[in-house]
């Protein structure tokens, strides 16, 4: 009887330790998420002080015909296509370079990682100062022959790409550290054996590093894709979604609807679609990683 009592207590004890975290997550994440899901099928008829009315799929029908929403979908997909490949490949090259046993290599690692610890708001303000018409970039371009400079943030064709550069610049060091941890887990004996077989220089990375780093590559791909899908701070600080919605992403459009227009139900609908998109993207990436 005493042994059975101890066994039951051992089973319950881990859940008691998890209970505070589960309670906090339930209050701050799970319950609001469930409430947002329910609000997607309702509509506030008069104002937010009244109870919402059930409207079924009316918000989704409205979303289907929303031209601005589809434009933000296109912008978000462009962000994925433009930023994610760079954030997957370039940090790996940087990690290989700083994984050498050279004097002062720790200084280079710290230099590449410094943008990560800078607030995105601060980074956005700094880059906006670089991009403006009389900023450093345009002053340099004017010195080499571009009389009017480049409208980095005011040209609909350039605004999104200009913001994308900030996301890439800030993320390189973060993903470099992830790759660096993976590189340091590879045994040096594998490279020595490869050198004996004639695989040296950059060829050894093609034969050994890239195959063994595939789990890290997929991890970075998933994380960077989710981050690119949820990009907001850079847009808010640098362009406010303009010009002409050319840099407006799904998350920024959700913010506009929820906190500027107070169209809470419609914003919850956008959030639900965004959640399903991120979930689908994560499942695809995980299935691809399992097949490797």
Please tell me the predicted confidence (pLDDT) of residue 120. Answer: 92
Please tell me the predicted confidence (pLDDT) of residue 199. Answer: 67
Q: Indicate the angle between helix axes 214-229 and 159-183, nearest 10 degrees.
A: 150
Q: What is the mean pLDDT of residues 134-152?
A: 84
Please tell me the predicted confidence (pLDDT) of residue 291. Answer: 63
Please tell me the predicted confidence (pLDDT) of residue 248. Answer: 94
Please tell me the predicted confidence (pLDDT) of residue 7. Answer: 57
Q: What is the pLDDT of residues 67-125, one digit of tens each?
A: 999 999 999 999 999 999 999 999 999 998 888 887 878 888 888 899 999 999 999 99
pTM, whole model, 2 decimals?
0.86
Q: Tell which residue, 34, 57, 53, has the closest CA to residue 42.
A: 53
Banded model confidence at residue 235, pLDDT cuts 50, 70, 90: very high
Q: What is the pLDDT of residues 5-62, one digit of tens each?
A: 565 667 787 788 888 888 998 898 889 889 989 999 988 866 667 778 888 899 999 9
Q: What is the mean pLDDT of residues 277-283?
A: 83
Among 38-52, 158-172, 217-231, name the one with the lowest average pLDDT.
38-52
In CATH, the number for domain 67-290 is 1.10.3720.10
Please tell me the predicted confidence (pLDDT) of residue 99. Answer: 86
């Amino acid at each position: 009887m005493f042994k059975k009592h101890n066994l039951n207590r051992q089973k319950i004890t881990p859940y008691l330790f998890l209970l505070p975290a589960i309670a906090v997550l339930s209050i701050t994440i799970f319950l609001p998420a469930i409430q947002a899901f329910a609000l997607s099928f309702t509509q506030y008829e008069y104002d937010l002080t009244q109870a919402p009315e059930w409207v079924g799929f009316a918000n989704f029908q409205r979303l289907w015909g929303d031209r601005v929403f589809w434009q933000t979908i296109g912008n978000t997909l462009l962000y994925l296509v433009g930023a994610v490949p760079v954030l997957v490949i370039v940090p790996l090259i940087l990690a290989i370079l700083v994984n050498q046993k050279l004097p002062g290599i720790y200084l280079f690692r710290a230099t590449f990682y410094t943008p990560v610890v800078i607030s995105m708001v601060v980074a956005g303000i700094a880059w906006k100062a670089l991009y403006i018409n009389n900023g450093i970039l345009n002053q340099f371009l004017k010195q080499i022959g571009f009389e009017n400079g480049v409208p980095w943030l005011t040209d609909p064709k350039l605004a999104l790409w200009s913001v994308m550069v900030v996301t890439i610049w800030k993320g390189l060091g973060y993903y470099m550290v992830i790759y660096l941890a993976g590189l340091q887990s590879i045994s040096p004996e594998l490279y020595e054996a490869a050198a004996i077989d004639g695989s040296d220089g950059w060829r050894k990375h093609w034969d050994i590093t890239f195959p063994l780093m595939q789990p890290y590559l997929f991890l970075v791909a998933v994380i960077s894709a989710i981050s690119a899908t949820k990009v907001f701070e850079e847009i808010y600080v640098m362009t406010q979604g303009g010009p002409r919605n050319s840099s407006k992403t799904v998350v920024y459009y959700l913010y506009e609807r929820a906190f500027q227009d107070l169209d809470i139900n419609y914003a919850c609908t956008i959030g639900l679609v965004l959640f399903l998109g991120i979930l689908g993207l994560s499942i695809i990436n995980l299935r691809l990683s399992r097949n490797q």
